Amino acid sequence: MSIDLAVIPVAGHGTRLLPATKSQPKEMLPVGRKPVVQYVAEELARSGMNRLLFITGARKTAIENHFDEDGELNSFLRHSGKENELAELDFEHCDIKYFYTRQRRQLGLGHAISCAQSFVGDQSFVVALGDSIIGIHAESDIVRRMVTVQEETQADVVIAFEEVPHADVSQYGIAQPKHFSGDVFELESVVEKPDPQEAPSNLAVAARYVFRPVIFEALAKTRPGKGGEIQLTDAIERILEEGGKGIGVRLAPQEHRYDIGNFESYFRAFVEFALADPVYGQGLQTHLKARWTTG
């Protein structure tokens, strides 16, 4: 059976987005019309995932509420004749099963993924970071492409990569490809948040992964790394060092990764999505041009 399970870590505190994230999850911040995590779920559904396991934590219950069917709201809208508004809740009925488990201590992304072990069992699975949207309005099939690569190569790990400015490599997991050509390449190694002078490339891990369950054994042996956290990248590097197979897949140019982890990239994402809105985008462009030329 093809991979149909995605694990979505959403337990982080979102400290770089305070005060906006004091009492709501960063994954629930709107980008244009929808909260970030809805884009992630819709992208995964389009790529063939029909079971989503959220690794959640304190103050994250709004995510569970968002994916529940809200009978009271639905019947209010129906009885008030608000059919257009009702249609905005169509995502509630898409064919996905939602599961939730808590990361009880904040020990890093690698530790969050290890919380999925008993649910995942011995199947391969996808990991999609809940604070990252791929492509404008999440119109990306990167996960489907990665799953195909995994099934064809039987790789232990497949990772999405995006080129970033060299000065920014210290914010990401960075690839050392075996050969610097093509959109699908074998991985020699990966390193978490290297200094720019030591980075093996400017290919940054872009929030989407496919794993064979061997990742759990590697995570169990991984000690705290950068920032004192158990890093997923370090567990991947362990697999590669021990002779496992890793494949990188580049995002296409239109599949930019929108990172909703800090205000700079959140603002950029919001503005781009709002400008591309089919109803309000044109008017917003006109408004902004008028403000700029008269301001």
Q: Least separation, in Å, of the C-beta of 231 and ligand G1P?
A: 6
Q: Which of 10, 138, 207, 240 binds ligand G1P (CB under 6 A)?
A: 207
Contact flags string 97-116 toward ligand G1P, x per CB under 6 A: ------------x-------
Instruction: Give the whole-angstrom CA distance, residue 129 versus residue 206.
Output: 9
**Among 110, 82, 148, 95, which residue's Cα sits nearest to residue 224?**
110
The answer to whether 9 contacts ligand G1P (rule: CB under 6 A) is no
Q: How many CB atoms lie within 10 A of CB 44?
A: 24
Under rule CB under 6 A, how many of the chain's residues touch ligand G1P?
A: 14
**In the complex, residue closest to ligand G1P by CB:** 173
Residue 92 vs 229, nearer CB to ligand G1P: 229
Q: Least separation, in Å, of the C-beta of 38 and ligand G1P?
A: 19
Residue 77 vs 108, nearer CB to ligand G1P: 108
Which of 224-256 are b and which e, b meaning 16 or more Cβ less than 10 Å from the residue's Cβ? ebeeebbbbbbbbbbbbeeebbbbbbbbeeebb
Contact flags string 165-204 toward ligand G1P, x per CB under 6 A: -------xx------------------x-----------x
Residue 77 vs 169, nearer CB to ligand G1P: 169
Q: Which of 175, 261, 266, 269 binds ligand G1P (CB under 6 A)?
A: 261
Q: How many CB atoms lie within 10 A of CB 139?
A: 14
Sites for ligand G1P among residues 114-173 (CB under 6 A): 129, 132, 172-173
Q: Least separation, in Å, of the C-beta of 104 and ligand G1P?
A: 19
Instruction: Give the whole-angstrom CA distance, residue 191 versus residue 200.
Output: 8
Q: Least separation, in Å, of the C-beta of 201 and ligand G1P?
A: 13
The answer to whether 205 contacts ligand G1P (rule: CB under 6 A) is yes
Q: Least separation, in Å, of the C-beta of 122 and ligand G1P?
A: 25
Contact flags string 214-243 toward ligand G1P, x per CB under 6 A: -----------------xxx----------
Instruction: Give the whole-angstrom CA distance, residue 235 versus residue 279.
Output: 45
Sites for ligand G1P among residues 41-70 (CB under 6 A): none
Residue 172 vs 211, nearer CB to ligand G1P: 172
Q: Which residues bind ligand G1P (CB under 6 A)?
A: 109, 129, 132, 172-173, 192, 204-207, 231-233, 261
